Amino acid sequence: MKKFLWGLGLCFYALLANAQDAKFGNLSFEKAVNLSGKQRMLSQKIAKIIVLKSLGANGLNMERELKSSQTLFNRNLMILKNNSVSQSAKVKAKVLAESKEWSRFKLTLPTAANDLETFLNQTESLLRKCHEVVMAIEEASNYNKQISYSAASDQLRVETINVSGKQRMLSQKMCLYYAACRAFNTKKKSNAVCNNYVSVYNEMNRVINDLMVNELNNSEIDLVISEILDIFQEIEDKKSDFVDNKTPLLTVLKSTDNMLNNFNKLTNLYSVQK
């Protein structure tokens, strides 16, 4: 009987330790999902700049944005590596796979404009690796929050950060493929990329409707969502031009950057919410 009680006590203290240790290294799972989600966005932002440059867009600001995006990706990856040391083998493997794909991707950047079709495939490969890291961290969060008896709203917050954060990526992906479609049309080369940006837009439009009724929302979050809806409405008002790739590229660039800024605000609000 004493052995049984002693073993029960060990289990209790183990669970208590898990309750205190339900973190991703030194980060909360909320922050880890937010950070890893930014990698998805940065992969598309970097690719977007490369495609814009292939269309003749240049300038000091663009070069700075390209350099800063690569610097951020490197820094975020280092943070993910350092904080994944104590995580599951699956999480560590996914982070390592992202790191290797990033190393390959960087080598393609100087000559990417020479073969945009191949470059877009490489971009998709990096995006998949980044997304797999996010999903592995979300899965680890779900496991840790279950064994630490966290409230259901805690895991909902992690999942919502993932969904909201994904929209940051999609805003950049939409602009990337809108610009790529313009590039392929300029070269009189038919390519399926022209269908992609409309599909991305439709997905974003659907998800924002879901986020509008998320139970974690408060007045501050609702305000940001309303600002995002205004941007979508501007596109909807001239949807046929957008679908036909007739909207000025600069207009799409500004709209998608506004989306990025607002979805970043939204994701950060979900991330710090208690």
Q: 3-state class of 27 per DSSP?
A: strand
pTM: 0.90
Contact between residue 98 and residue 76 where contact means Cβ atoms under 8 Å apart: no
Angle 89-108/60-83 helices, nearest 10 degrees?
160
Looking at residue 24, what DSSP letter applies? B
Contact between residue 84 and residue 95 where contact means Cβ atoms under 8 Å apart: yes
pLDDT at 272: 85
Would you give per-residue pLDDT tens digits along the chain (274 residues)?
555 444 444 444 444 444 445 799 999 999 999 999 999 999 999 999 999 999 988 877 889 999 999 999 999 999 999 999 999 999 999 999 999 999 999 999 999 999 999 999 999 999 999 999 999 999 999 988 787 667 778 899 999 999 999 999 999 999 999 999 999 876 555 567 889 999 999 999 999 999 999 999 999 999 999 999 999 999 999 999 999 999 999 999 999 999 999 999 999 999 987 6
pLDDT at 146: 80
Distance CA 198, CA 236 (A): 12
**Residue 27: phi, psi to the nearest 5?**
-105, 150
